[in-house]
């Protein structure tokens, strides 16, 4: 885990945004492998790019990773929701946005039968620092969304 944390810290140094995104995808793939989540690297299918996929407790997840300066907004969540919606009914999504989410975007996508859960930079750092296991964090986020409809439960409300 220490190597992944160090790799993440290196990505934090100024670098070209496109390259930083690929490095983040690679780091996440390694992290999911460490937790035996059967990760798949990024892939393209007709009309869309998928940043990755994994299986958690018998459910397939699509992965979207965003490392952009503005917080992720409604348009990005709409796009990812569409990708999930074009897959099998039991497919869920995990969107990781290092710089978090616009509160309005989270509100728009919470409640009405959500198909995704959200993680941000502090969530990822808590996992990389060993303060919470990835499996436990994903389980708590999914349970929170299942019980409340709210797709974003920040790690500071869990620890």
pLDDT digits (tens, 9 = 90+) for 37-80: 999 998 888 888 899 999 999 999 999 999 888 999 999 999 99
Residue 156 has pLDDT above 90, yes or no: yes
Of residues 63, 18, 58, 9, the one with CA closest to residue 39: 63
Domain holding 77, by residue range, is: 2-157
Q: Of the ranges 10-14, 24-28, 115-119, which one carries the lowest mean pLDDT score?
A: 10-14
Residue with the two structure tokens 């160090």: 6
pLDDT at 76: 96
Beta bridge mates, 59: 56
- Which CATH number characterizes residue 19's domain? 3.40.1350.10
Do residues 29 and 21 touch, judged by C-beta distance below 8 A? no
Contact at 8 Å (CB) between 34 and 4? yes
pLDDT digits (tens, 9 = 90+) for 119-145: 999 999 999 999 999 999 999 999 999
Give the span between the Cα atoms of 43 and 75, in whole angstroms: 21
For the entire predicted model, the pTM comes to: 0.93
φ and ψ at residue 3, rounded to 5 degrees: -65, -40
Indicate if the pLDDT at residue 14 is higher than 80: no
pLDDT of residue 113: 86
pLDDT per residue as tens digits for the range 72-114: 999 999 999 999 999 998 999 999 999 999 999 999 999 878 9
Count of structural domains within the chain: 1
């Amino acid at each position: 885990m220490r190597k992944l944390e160090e790799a993440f810290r290196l990505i934090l140094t100024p670098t070209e945004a496109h390259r930083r995104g690929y490095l983040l995808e690679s780091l996440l793939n390694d992290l999911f492998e460490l937790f035996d989540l059967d990760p798949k690297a990024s892939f393209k299918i007709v009309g869309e790019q998928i940043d990755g996929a994994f299986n958690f407790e018998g459910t397939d997840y699509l992965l979207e990773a965003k490392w952009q300066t503005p917080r992720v907004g409604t348009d990005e969540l709409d796009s990812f929701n569409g990708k999930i919606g074009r897959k099998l009914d039991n497919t869920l999504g995990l969107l990781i946005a290092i710089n978090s989410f616009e509160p309005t975007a989270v509100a728009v996508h919470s409640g009405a039968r959500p198909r995704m859960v959200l993680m941000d930079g502090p969530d990822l750092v808590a996992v990389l620092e060993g303060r919470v296991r990835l499996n436990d964090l994903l389980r708590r986020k999914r349970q929170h969304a299942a019980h409340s409809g709210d797709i974003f439960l920040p790690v500071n409300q869990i620890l």
